[in-house]
């Protein structure tokens, strides 16, 4: 046992220790060494006895004590042999990075064979050690290398703060040996240039530029939201206006809430919120299936070491939840692509079956978004994403698919309660090459949309797609969030080995469309609530679509003696009907029902009982007289043929739990 050395393993947590790119899963044929970094109050060591491999050292280096120091225990591995220069360089880079973080200028390099079971030759190791030593000295560090190949005694004190203990596998020759698509992606990103313009319905392009951080180049006039959207996308300028209104609404209406007992960005749904979520999920699922989507289900976690996934992950690292299973380290899916692609990889597909449309309501998908990016329901770490992939023979088929999915989204979002296209702004992003070759198609989409769109054109392809579009909701704080989106993927068929057999008998890679017809379900809550808030600013009563309202009809008995009648009536009426049987004045009951945005409110007393006529408060309209049958008819009309679920709470208000004050 090592004196003063804690006996424990050194697990790495990708989320608490950022940017540990060197510990991402390593492929075969990489050159690594193992290193253990300890930020110490002091270390003292003394060489006691030579081994066969011992280097000759002067007597003054036999014994040493160093304080306020970063100690690097290191073992060089077989795989480092022949890569001495690169290994030393990689070691220096790691030491510098960690020394910078813990703010020390004093380093002890401590050769420590026990970290590895496949050690490099002594000569090779000594070369790396002293090359790194002299490089660090050149960079201005005070460096002590403990004697190589000696039995040594040592005492060390570890500071114990989060970064004081780190272990790493260090990759030598990093730049050269990284997967080529990683460096391609990085290079492409550096070279990526965006050109922005507004494309109007006649197909005219209006180039945009930033003048003093204000978007210029198009007369926006009535298109206030398009202007805000362009400003948001191009200038990234944001003015603080406080907390987004939907956050207060989601709590006050007892729909959704933060869950401090989980990880940030993971929410709880109260019965009313869960009802709405179920209805939305069901509706989107039904519509996709109605238009030929085949619903499937796939796992939520995936193996880092799976060949297809590995190359994808290397391209987009470090935004996943990582989980240790009993056997391996896996990541949680951040989209349903993985499951669907792996399924299609194994499928036998003829061109005759294309387009193939797979669909999954991925509950959940996970993204470990940065803390500062999480806001209410707009951006989460776990979310429910309707994810459709269409596998197409070629670009022509992909375009036709994109158009039919465009129409589907229109219907879906309209029925969910948004006004299309007025509530949303259209963004199109494409490579210049794709745009130029498919301008007719793109202008056709804008014509269908009926309003001008923002276009972002890339000088070359950076992402896996050549074309995508989004419908963006602009909220009360002038922030934009994408709902429906569709992407034309030219890269992943090859990566995942997805092929179909063409009429020529040969294997071909399909073009893959990625679409979410509605955007994340949570984001629909956000859009509906923000929209209601925006309407209320214009003097229009905030409300939810009838089919999503947790309570659709509320009966208010004037006295206790009418409660029985109301309960009986509630059972007979269609829709979600409840009864406010609490011992309160009518005024108070009305007020509470209005604050809950109940669409139909009915006071029930002697008059109603004797006449059979109800005075119905229709939200957003005047009171209307109706008979019971007329009321039932109105409820059915308002419900249309949207999905229905019964009341998720006791019918008597007096029996309900209050989840929030």
Partner RNA sequence: GCCACUGUGGCAUAGCCUGGUAGCGCGGCUGAUUCGUAAUCAGCAGGUCGAGGGUUCAAAUCCCUUCAGUGGCUCCA
b/e burial code for range 554-563 (CB count within 10 A of at least 16 → b): bbbbbeeebb
- Applying CB under 7 A, among 8, 49, 52, 371 the residue interacting with RNA is 371
CA distance 170 to 21: 10
Taking CA atoms, 14 is separated from 25, 324, 332, in Å, by 12, 12, 13
- Applying CB under 7 A, among 463, 469, 471, 473 the residue interacting with RNA is 463
In 3D space, the residue among 378, 482, 467 whose CA is nearest the CA of residue 424 turns out to be 482
Structure tokens at 373: 């990016």
Pick 18 or 450: Cβ nearer RNA: 18
CA distance 517 to 524: 11
Partners of 110 in beta bridges: 73
The neighbour count for residue 431, using CB atoms within 10 Å, is 19
- Applying CB under 7 A, among 395, 464, 469, 546 the residue interacting with RNA is 464
Pick 123 or 654: Cβ nearer RNA: 654
Q: What is the largest CA-CA distance in the chain?
A: 111
Residue with tokens 């030598």: 172
DSSP 8-state assignment for residue 560: G
| Residue 62 CB partners (closer than 8 Å, separation 6+) | 46, 47, 147
CA distance 174 to 89: 9
Q: What angle do CA 634, 620, 480 make, to 5 degrees?
A: 110
| Residue 468 CB partners (closer than 8 Å, separation 6+) | 428, 429, 430, 485, 486, 487, 488
Using rule CB under 7 A, residue 11 touches RNA: no
Q: What angle do CA 206, 208, 212 make, to 5 degrees?
A: 150
SS (H, E, C) 484-509: EEEEEECCHHHHHCCCEECCCCCEEC
Pick 250 or 443: Cβ nearer RNA: 250
Pick 22 or 351: Cβ nearer RNA: 22
Residue with tokens 């002067």: 58
Using rule CB under 7 A, residue 246 touches RNA: no
Using rule CB under 7 A, residue 247 touches RNA: yes
- 381-440 residues in contact with RNA (CB under 7 A) are none
Structure tokens at 624: 């209307």
- Applying CB under 7 A, among 594, 618, 645, 647 the residue interacting with RNA is 594
Structure tokens at 433: 């090459």
CA distance 39 to 538: 60
- 373, 379 contact by CB (below 8 A): yes
Partners of 350 in beta bridges: 501
Pick 270 or 500: Cβ nearer RNA: 270
- 256-295 residues in contact with RNA (CB under 7 A) are 258, 260, 263-265
Query: Residue 595 Cβ, how far from RNA at the closest point, in Å?
Result: 6
DSSP 8-state assignment for residue 300: S
Pick 202 or 560: Cβ nearer RNA: 560
Partners of 323 in beta bridges: 330
Using rule CB under 7 A, residue 24 touches RNA: no
- The CA R_g of the chain, rounded to the nearest whole Å, is 32
Query: Residue 374 Cβ, how far from RNA at the closest point, in Å?
Result: 5
Pick 116 or 515: Cβ nearer RNA: 515
Using rule CB under 7 A, residue 441 touches RNA: no
Give the interface segment with RNA, choosing from 113-121, 294-302, 375-383, 571-579 (CB under 7 A). Answer: 375-383
Using rule CB under 7 A, residue 15 touches RNA: yes
Q: Helices 337-345 & 307-315, crossing angle to 10 degrees?
A: 140
Q: Give the DSSP per-residue string, 451-474.
A: S-EEEEEESS--SSEEEEEEEEEE
Pick 54 or 586: Cβ nearer RNA: 586
- Applying CB under 7 A, among 367, 405, 495, 531 the residue interacting with RNA is 367
The phi, psi pair for 230, rounded to 5°, reads -60, -40
Partners of 33 in beta bridges: 76, 170
CA distance 177 to 87: 12
- Applying CB under 7 A, among 374, 403, 534, 647 the residue interacting with RNA is 374
Structure tokens at 496: 């995942």
Pick 124 or 382: Cβ nearer RNA: 382
Query: Residue 557 Cβ, how far from RNA at the closest point, in Å?
Result: 8
Using rule CB under 7 A, residue 151 touches RNA: no
Using rule CB under 7 A, residue 618 touches RNA: no
Pick 162 or 203: Cβ nearer RNA: 162
- Applying CB under 7 A, among 123, 353, 607, 627 the residue interacting with RNA is 607
Using rule CB under 7 A, residue 460 touches RNA: no
- Applying CB under 7 A, among 51, 117, 183, 237 the residue interacting with RNA is 237
Query: Residue 468 Cβ, how far from RNA at the closest point, in Å?
Result: 9
Give the interface segment with RNA, choosing from 73-81, 175-183, 200-208, 367-375 (CB under 7 A). Answer: 367-375
- Applying CB under 7 A, among 604, 634, 635, 638 the residue interacting with RNA is 604
Residue with tokens 């007393």: 605
Give the interface segment with RNA, choosing from 136-144, 293-301, 430-438, 601-609 (CB under 7 A). Answer: 601-609
x/- mask, RNA, residues 102-141, rule CB under 7 A, reads: ----------------------------------------
- 471, 486 contact by CB (below 8 A): no
Using rule CB under 7 A, residue 322 touches RNA: no
Pick 210 or 477: Cβ nearer RNA: 477
Pick 318 or 349: Cβ nearer RNA: 318
- Applying CB under 7 A, among 202, 585, 622, 629 the residue interacting with RNA is 585
Query: Residue 304 Cβ, how far from RNA at the closest point, in Å?
Result: 12
Binding-site residue total for RNA (CB under 7 A)?
A: 68
- Applying CB under 7 A, among 335, 534, 567, 632 the residue interacting with RNA is 335
- Applying CB under 7 A, among 23, 93, 403, 477 the residue interacting with RNA is 477
Using rule CB under 7 A, residue 636 touches RNA: no
Using CB under 7 A, list all residues that contact RNA.
15-16, 18, 236-240, 242-244, 247, 251, 258, 260, 263-265, 313, 316, 318-320, 334-335, 367, 369-376, 379, 463-464, 477, 487, 541, 558-561, 582-588, 590-591, 594-595, 601, 603-608, 615, 617, 623, 658, 660-661
């Amino acid at each position: 046992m090592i004196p003063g050395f804690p006996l424990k393993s050194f697990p790495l947590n990708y989320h608490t220790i950022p940017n540990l790119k060197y510990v991402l899963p390593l492929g075969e044929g990489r050159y690594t060494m193992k290193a253990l970094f300890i930020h110490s109050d002091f270390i003292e060591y003394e060489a006691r006895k030579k081994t066969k491999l011992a280097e000759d050292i002067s007597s003054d280096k036999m014994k040493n004590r160093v304080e306020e120091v970063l100690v690097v225990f290191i073992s060089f591995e077989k795989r480092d042999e022949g890569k001495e220069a690169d290994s030393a360089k990689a070691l220096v880079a790691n030491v510098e990075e960690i020394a910078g973080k813990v703010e020390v200028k004093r380093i002890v390099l401590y050769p420590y064979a026990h970290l590895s079971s496949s050690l490099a030759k002594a000569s090779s190791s000594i070369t790396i050690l002293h090359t790194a030593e002299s490089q660090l000295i050149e960079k201005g560090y005070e460096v002590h290398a403990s004697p190589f190949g000696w039995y040594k005694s040592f005492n060390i004190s570890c500071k114990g703060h989060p970064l004081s203990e780190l272990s790493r596998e260090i990759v030598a020759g990093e730049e050269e040996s990284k997967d080529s698509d990683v460096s391609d992606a990085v290079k492409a990103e550096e070279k990526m240039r965006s050109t922005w313009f507004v494309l109007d319905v006649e197909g005219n392009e209006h180039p945009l530029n930033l003048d003093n951080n204000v978007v210029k180049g198009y007369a926006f006039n009535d298109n206030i939201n398009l202007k805000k959207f362009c400003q948001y996308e191009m200038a990234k300028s944001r003015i603080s206006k406080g907390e987004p209104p939907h956050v207060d609404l989601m709590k006050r209406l007892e729909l959704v809430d933060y869950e401090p007992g989980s990880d940030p960005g993971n929410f709880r749904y109260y019965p009313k919120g869960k009802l709405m979520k179920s209805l939305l999920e069901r509706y989107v699922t039904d519509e996709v299936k109605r238009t030929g989507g085949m619903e499937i289900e796939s796992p939520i976690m995936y193996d880092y070491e799976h060949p297809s996934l590995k190359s994808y992950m290397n391209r987009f690292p470090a935004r996943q939840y990582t989980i240790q299973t009993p056997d391996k380290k896996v990541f949680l899916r951040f989209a349903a692509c993985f499951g669907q692609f792996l399924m299609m990889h194994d499928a036998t597909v003829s061109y005759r079956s294309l387009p193939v449309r797979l669909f999954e309501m991925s509950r959940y998908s996970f993204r470990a978004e940065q803390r500062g990016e999480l806001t209410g329901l707009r951006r989460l770490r776990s979310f429910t994403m309707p994810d459709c992939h269409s596998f197409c023979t070629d670009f022509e088929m992909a375009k036709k698919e994109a158009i039919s999915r465009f129409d589907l989204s229109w219907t879906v979002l309209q029925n969910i309660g948004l006004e299309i296209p007025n509530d949303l702004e259209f963004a199109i992003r494409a490579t210049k090459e794709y745009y130029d070759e498919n301008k007719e198609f793109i202008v056709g989409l804008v014509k269908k949309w009926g309003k001008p769109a923002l276009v972002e054109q890339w000088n070359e392809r950076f992402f896996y797609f050549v074309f995508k579009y989004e419908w963006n909701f602009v909220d009360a704080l002038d922030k934009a969030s994408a709902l429906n989106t569709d992407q034309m993927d030219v890269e992943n068929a090859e990566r995942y080995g997805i092929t179909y057999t063409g009429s020529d008998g040969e294997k071909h890679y399909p073009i893959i469309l990625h679409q979410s017809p509605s955007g994340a379900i949570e984001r629909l809550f956000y859009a509906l609530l923000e929209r209601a808030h925006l309407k209320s600013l214009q003097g229009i009563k905030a409300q939810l679509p009838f089919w999503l309202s947790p309570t659709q009809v509320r009966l208010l008995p004037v006295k206790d003696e009418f409660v029985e009648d109301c309960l009986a009536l509630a059972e007979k009426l269609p829709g979600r009907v409840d009864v406010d049987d609490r011992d309160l004045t009518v005024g108070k009951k009305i007020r509470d029902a209005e604050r809950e945005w109940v669409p139909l409110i009915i006071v029930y007393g002697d008059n109603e009982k004797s006449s059979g006529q109800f005075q119905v408060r229709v939200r957003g309209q005047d009171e209307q007289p109706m008979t019971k049958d007329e009321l039932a008819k109105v409820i059915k009309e308002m419900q249309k043929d949207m999905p229905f679920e019964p009341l998720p709470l006791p019918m008597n208000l007096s029996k309900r739990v209050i989840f929030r004050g």
